[in-house]
Structure 1
Amino acid sequence: MKLKKTLKNILKSIGYDLVRLDGGLGYGSSENELLKFMKETQVDLILDIGANKGQFGKAMYNFGYDNKILSFEPLSAMHKMLKETSESFPNWHVYEQCTIGEKETTTTINISNLVGNSSILPIKSTEYNVQNSHYVEKEEVKQITLASLNKNDNVKSAKNIFVKMDVQGYEHFILNTLKETNYNIVGFYIEMSLVKLYDGQEDYLYICNLLKDLGYDLVYVFPESIRNQRMIQCNGVFLNNTLSYK
């Protein structure tokens, strides 16, 4: 105990902290906290929308998730890396290169010099956006909807699905088709913005109210990015209202 206290004090002196990976709700790592919700709701499939090169999926498997993941990524370079990353995990499946939106069509992705900021939407000029973030090229990609997955084998065989979304302002466009799905979504893990970073984006309050109307309650929040001593983005966990606050 004395060693732990000493180590914590040393780390705090240089701006860090020491926490248990599984420290109880509110005290562990974000991956472990999220995994608790997955276990509680008996999730057997994660829809990983906006997978980039697979950071989220890899983290979930490394922290103990062992069921299926179906990942989606629109950018060709990232999609290639995503497929390579997924090959080390037998339950990890990668959908064909596409984006997900409110209708089946072809759309254009604006690619940022900071790839994680790439979006279908125009980037806003604001002091709260990532400094020097700007679009450098475009890529035309296929767009599907959540309802397009109604006949997907991985989706059809799943009993309890959790949807992770990191889509740079496009959240509400995706959620607008939720009523057209025929599979059981028990929860969502969604990156939300407290300030609008893209033209056409809706903020966290709109997303919370939209999901509330669709039958999902916000039950947990993880800070995501902070600038000028202001939280800019957070990740919200939403559970079906039959599972949230009983």
Structure 2
Amino acid sequence: MPWLRNAAVHGLARRGLALRRHPASRRQSLLAGLGVDLVVDVGAARGGFAQEVRAFGYRGRILSFEPLAEAYADLTAVCADDPAWEARRSALGSESGSAEINVASNSDSSSLLPMDDRHRAAAPQVDYVTTQTVAVSTLDAELGTDPTRRPFLKLDTQGFERQVLAGGRASLDRAVGLQLELSFVPLYDGGMLVDEAISLAYEHGFVLAAIESGFASPDGPVLQADGVFVRG
């Protein structure tokens, strides 16, 4: 009944809420339409993104990368019963080697880059608490001999996307889809901002297909969103 639906929508709106299509549903439609045969999950944390992809219907291969010891242990436990989901303990960057990663109190904000004061102001409960030495590989080294033909690349590396893509030029050219964090203000020192991220994606033949909500300041402004790009 339209009147009941409208009443529910307006009731939610008065409470600052909205009824909308889940972004993962749209993403799954894009994955299916693109014929994706591998989801590359860079910065997998504890596997939340891949679990969401599975929950909304993707049944192909998933390859997850996570450098932090504790998060990787949780990730491997989550994917242990899924034969099409592989986890590798590594950061990705412009070249192979090792690096010191800053470990945040909430883990998800951990980064190879220093945290900007604007991030601390927006989330004062979050800060770096320690460091870990982690292995660093490159996207091209990891995917160079992979037999899949239509990969989708998802990067969630807290400002380090530029370096990941610099080490994955061939992989980026193979990809049919790409998901990047779009930062509207600096959140990590030296991190890629929205204009550079979108320009880079378009230079490699992608077009923006969807924007998903991300990190917002408690006083209202949206500081970061996720951009989903498809091969144009």
Mapping of residues 1-246 of structure 1, within 5 Å: 1=1, 2-19=3-20, 28-95=21-88, 97-126=89-118, 129-152=122-145, 156-181=146-171, 184-227=174-217, 228-240=219-231, 244=232
> Could you tell me how far 1:182 is from its partner in structure 2?
8.7
Three-state SS of the structure 2 residue aligned to 1:190 is strand
1:69–1:135 distance in 2 versus 1, CA, 3 Å: same
The residue number in structure 2 matching 1:25 is none
- The alignment's TM-score, normalised by the length of structure 1, stands at 0.86
- Letter of the 1:72 counterpart: F
Could you tell me whether the CA contact under 8 Å between 2:122 and 2:216 is conserved in 1?
no
Between the two structures, name the one with larger relative contact order (CA 8 Å, sep ≥ 6): 2
- Over residues 105-135 of structure 1, what are the superposed CA-to-partner deviations in whole Å (9 max), with x where a residue is unaligned? 1011100112111000011112654223211
RMSD: 1.9
C-alpha distance in 2 between matches for 1:150 and 1:234: 27
Q: Secondary structure at the match of 1:237?
A: strand
**SS state at 1:231 partner:** coil
Question: Which consecutive unaligned segments of at least 5 residues does structure 1 have?
Answer: 20-27
Contact 2:34/2:176 (<8 A) preserved? yes
CA positional deviation for 1:45: 0.4
Q: Tell me, in whole angstroms, the C-alpha distance in 2 between the residues paired with 1:12 and 1:221.
A: 21
Measure, in 2, the Cα distance between the counterparts of 1:157 and 1:111.
Answer: 34
CA contact (8 A) 2:23 2:212 kept: yes
Q: Which amino acid aligns with 2:125?
A: N
Which segments of 5 or more consecutive residues in structure 2 lack a partner in the other structure? Answer: none
- 1:16, distance to aligned residue in structure 2 (A): 2.8
Q: Structure 2 CA distance, aligned partners of 1:141 and 1:197?
A: 22
Q: For the residues of structure 2 that align with 1:60 and 1:169, how far apart are their CA atoms?
A: 23
On the 8 A contact 1:224/1:234 being kept in 2, the answer is: yes
7-16 or 229-238, larger mean C-alpha shift: 7-16
CA contact (8 A) 1:129 1:197 kept: no
- Is the CA contact (8 Å cut-off) linking 2:172 and 2:204 kept in structure 1? no
Offset at 1:67? 0.7
- Worse-matched range after superposition: 219-228 or 28-37: 219-228
- Return the TM-score normalized by structure 2: 0.91
String of CA shifts for 1:179-223, please: whole Å, max 9, x gaps.
244972111011121101111112010111122222222232122
| Contact 2:103 2:111 (8 Å CA) reproduced | yes
**Given the superposition, is the C-alpha separation of residues 238 and 183 from structure 1 closer, same or farther in structure 2, using an over 3 Å criterion?**
closer
Instruction: Quickly say closer, same or farther: Cα 1:220–1:81, change in 2 above 3 A.
Output: same
Asked if the contact 2:155–2:180 (Cα under 8 Å) also holds between the matched residues in 1, the reply is: yes
